[in-house]
């Protein structure tokens, strides 16, 4: 019996492509579901706790956040952890999952909590060596090397730990011979058992999870449903940089990201992400425009670059990195139709620096400005930054949270802001950011005026 790890479809024989969801290489061997008669399997019984209403004070405790003190991590999980929270954390091999978990464990333990780090992949010797390298000293952080689910369950129920870290869930085995280690049914069962046990004891749990070649979590999708928070550890543009993204969070926003730098002493948060994304910018070069994009509630400056070159192909190339190609094509079409900039005979290359992907409409205006700047070979003055959405008639529309973007730009020394006209009323009374000059734009034409 084979089961698709993506959609759960069954197949009697192995197939390369799932007949249901059409994804490749997702069929894995699984035990057949039991064919017992349905009537005998369930029996009604009164639940331990009867239904309650919202006014029931016993359940009205506010969520007490537990900040780890690692600012970037707290940002990613939405201002700190919650007692009993279950977190799934994935990432490419060697990206630094174990390092991050050790550092988080240390910070949680230094707050006086009892923490258990279960290493199912590395020996005690290896993990202690790493802990020493990371200067971990807490006396309430315990290490254990084990693989058996029953031993892990014992630790949860009898250990009185505040948080337990399992590195990694794929290496925990069940003694049941039919659910082989790594098999999806076994994995689902293990994750279910361990998260349920933790929920009962109000013990927080971190499950480190392998990822597949395509970057998804290895194992059934249900693993993501079982936990409160799903984090994904990604590498940025440079080798030493890592980005921690939150894909699901029952206790906060999912759009927050944390940026880290890996060094011998472990991961440290990048204090000023805007400087990181724009540090290597060459001022006064045509085709480069700074914008502020929102990642959750935090604004970050990123550099948008465009290169416009003549094309000798019947269909000119449009290559986009870090931004949706469709969006760039729309902007190019609007520039051609409304402003008469002949882009249909040009190749357009657009790139967002820093290894992040910008999905916001606010990137439209900077993309348009960088394309026009490269087309005209005229740089935008280096004190300028821009944000705004572009409509198909060439109008520039307002975007969400202009104040946060301007604050970030002002703190990085950008004093001239190309801002959608409709956003101006929200921010023109802003004070305390030095001398900011607002340049309101309501039509794309205005951008061309600034460049000529
Ligand atoms: N002495 C060192 N100095 C600097 N960086 C180091 C050192 N030792 C290890 N690293 C970094 O730590 C990374 C390994 O981190 P870690 O073992 O936490 O990753 P992981 O995601 O848990 O890997 P795996 O998938 O194998 O469990 C290495 O890729 C390397 O970049
Ligand atoms: Mg590891």
Q: Residue 391: which of 330, 435, 348 has the closest Cα?
A: 330
Domain 63-271, what fold?
A: Rossmann fold (3.40.50)
Cα–Cα dist 386/379, whole Å: 13
Question: How far away, in angstroms, is 424 Cα from ligand 2 center?
Answer: 49
Q: Is 262 touching ligand 1 by the criterion CB < 6 Å?
A: yes
Q: Is 93 touching ligand 1 by the criterion CB < 6 Å?
A: yes
Rg of the chain over all Cα atoms, to the nearest angstrom: 26
* Three-state DSSP state, 191: helix
Taking the CA atoms of 175, 181, 186 and 190 in sequence, report the sign of the dihedral they define.
positive
Residue nearest to atom 3 of ligand 1 (CA): 264
Does residue 26 surpass a pLDDT of 50?
Answer: yes
Q: Which atom of ligand 1 is nearest to the CA of 94?
A: 23
Q: What percent of the chain has pLDDT over 70?
A: 90
CB of 265 closer than 8 Å to CB of 134: yes
Q: Is 94 touching ligand 1 by the criterion CB < 6 Å?
A: yes
Which pLDDT does position 105 carry in this prediction? 93
What band does 434 get if pLDDT is binned at 50, 70 and 90?
Answer: low
Pick the CATH number of 276-451 from 3.30.230.10, 1.10.287.3510, 3.40.50.280, 3.40.50.1370: 3.30.230.10
CB of 287 closer than 8 Å to CB of 368: no
Q: Average of pLDDT values for 331-341?
A: 92
Q: Which atom of ligand 1 is nearest to the CA of 102?
A: 18
Question: How far away, in angstroms, is 26 Cα from ligand 2 center?
Answer: 24
Q: At what angle do helices 149-158 and 184-201 cross, to 10 degrees?
A: 10
What band does 4 get if pLDDT is binned at 50, 70 and 90?
Answer: confident
pLDDT, tens only, 203-249: 999 999 888 766 666 666 778 888 999 998 877 545 677 888 888 88
Does residue 180 surpass a pLDDT of 60?
Answer: no
More confident residue, 393 or 182: 393
The closest ligand to the CA of 93 turns out to be 1
More confident residue, 298 or 72: 72
Residue nearest to atom 29 of ligand 1 (CA): 94
Strands 10-11 and 27-29: unpaired
Question: How far away, in angstroms, is 208 Cα from ligand 2 center?
Answer: 8
Question: How far away, in angstroms, is 255 Cα from ligand 2 center?
Answer: 25
Q: Do 276-451 and 63-271 fall under one CATH topology?
A: no
pLDDT, tens only, 60-76: 666 778 888 888 888 88
Does residue 145 surpass a pLDDT of 60?
Answer: yes
The DSSP call for residue 379 is P
More confident residue, 451 or 61: 451
pLDDT, tens only, 248-267: 888 887 777 788 888 888 88
What band does 433 get if pLDDT is binned at 50, 70 and 90?
Answer: low
Q: What percent of the chain has pLDDT over 90?
A: 35
Q: Which atom of ligand 1 is nearest to the CA of 121?
A: 27
What band does 441 get if pLDDT is binned at 50, 70 and 90?
Answer: very high
Does residue 304 surpass a pLDDT of 90?
Answer: yes
Q: Average of pLDDT values for 41-69?
A: 79
Ligand 1, from 88, 96, 123, 165: best to mutate by most atoms within 8 Å of Cβ? 96
Domain ranges of the chain: 1-34, 63-271, 276-451
Question: How far away, in angstroms, is 263 Cα from ligand 1 center?
Answer: 9
DSSP 73-126: HHHHTTSSEETT-EEEEEESTTSSHHHHHHHHHHHHHHTT--EEEEESSS-HHH
Question: How far away, in angstroms, is 167 Cα from ligand 1 center?
Answer: 14
Residue nearest to atom 16 of ligand 1 (CA): 96
pLDDT, tens only, 112-127: 889 999 999 999 999 9
Q: Which atom of ligand 1 is nearest to the CA of 233?
A: 21
The residue assigned the tokens 């449009």 is 318
CB of 366 closer than 8 Å to CB of 406: no
What band does 320 get if pLDDT is binned at 50, 70 and 90?
Answer: very high
The DSSP call for residue 186 is H
Q: Is 264 touching ligand 1 by the criterion CB < 6 Å?
A: yes
Q: What average pLDDT does the chain have?
A: 85
Strands 257-263 and 266-269: antiparallel
Residue nearest to atom 26 of ligand 1 (CA): 94
Q: Average of pLDDT values for 132-151?
A: 91
Residue nearest to atom 5 of ligand 1 (CA): 264
Q: Average of pLDDT values for 35-40?
A: 60
Q: Which atom of ligand 1 is nearest to the CA of 167?
A: 27
Q: Average of pLDDT values for 26-37?
A: 72
Q: Average of pLDDT values for 91-101?
A: 89
The closest ligand to the CA of 262 turns out to be 1
Which pLDDT does position 273 carry in this prediction? 73
Which pLDDT does position 179 carry in this prediction? 46
What length does the chain have? Answer: 452
Ligand 1, from 165, 206, 210, 262: best to mutate by most atoms within 8 Å of Cβ? 262
Name the β-bridge partners of 143: 117
């Amino acid at each position: 019996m084979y089961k698709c790890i993506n959609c759960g479809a069954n197949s009697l024989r192995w197939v390369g492509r799932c007949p249901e969801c059409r994804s490749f290489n997702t069929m894995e061997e699984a035990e057949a579901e039991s064919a017992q008669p349905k009537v005998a399997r369930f029996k009604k019984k009164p639940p331990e706790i009867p239904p309650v209403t919202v006014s029931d004070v016993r359940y009205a405790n506010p969520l007490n956040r537990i900040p780890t003190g690692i600012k970037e991590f707290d940002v990613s999980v939405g201002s700190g952890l919650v007692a009993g929270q279950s977190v799934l954390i994935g990432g490419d091999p060697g990206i630094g999952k174990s390092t991050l978990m050790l550092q988080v464990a240390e910070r949680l333990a230094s707050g006086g909590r009892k923490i258990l780090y279960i290493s199912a992949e590395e020996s005690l010797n290896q993990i202690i060596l790493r802990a020493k390298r990371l200067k971990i000293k807490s006396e309430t952080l315990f290490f254990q090397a084990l693989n058996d689910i029953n031993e892990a369950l014992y630790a949860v129920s009898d250990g009185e730990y505040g948080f337990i870290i399992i590195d990694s869930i794929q290496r925990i085995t069940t003694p049941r011979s039919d659910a082989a280690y790594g098999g999806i049914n076994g994995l689902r069962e293990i994750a279910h058992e361990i998260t349920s046990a933790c929920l009962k004891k109000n013990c927080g749990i971190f499950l480190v999870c392998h990822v597949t070649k395509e970057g998804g979590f290895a194992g059934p999708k249900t693993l993501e449903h079982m936990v409160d928070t799903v984090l994904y550890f990604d590498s940025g543009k440079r080798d030493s940089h890592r980005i921690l993204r939150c894909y699901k969070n029952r206790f906060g926003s999912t759009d927050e990201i944390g940026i880290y730098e890996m060094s011998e002493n472990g991961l440290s948060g990048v204090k000023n992400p805007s400087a990181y994304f724009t540090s290597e910018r060459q001022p006064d070069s045509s085709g480069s425009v700074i914008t502020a994009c929102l990642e959750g509630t935090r604004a970050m400056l990123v550099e948008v670059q465009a290169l416009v070159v003549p094309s000798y192909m019947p269909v000119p190339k449009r290559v986009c990195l870090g931004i949706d190609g469709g969006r760039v094509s729309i902007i190019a079409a609007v520039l051609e139709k409304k402003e008469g900039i002949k882009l249909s005979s040009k190749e357009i290359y657009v790139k967002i620096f820093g290894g992040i992907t910008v999905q916001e409409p606010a990137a439209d205006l900077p993309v348009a400005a960088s394309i026009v700047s490269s087309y005209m070979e005229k740089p935008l003055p280096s004190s300028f930054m821009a944000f705004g959405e572009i409509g198909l008639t060439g109008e520039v529309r307002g975007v969400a949270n202009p104040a946060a973007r301007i604050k970030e730009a002002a703190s990085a020394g950008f004093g001239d802001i190309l801002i959608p006209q409709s956003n101006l009323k929200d921010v023109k009374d802003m004070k305390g950011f030095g001398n900011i000059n607002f340049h309101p734009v309501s039509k794309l034409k205005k951008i061309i005026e600034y460049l000529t």
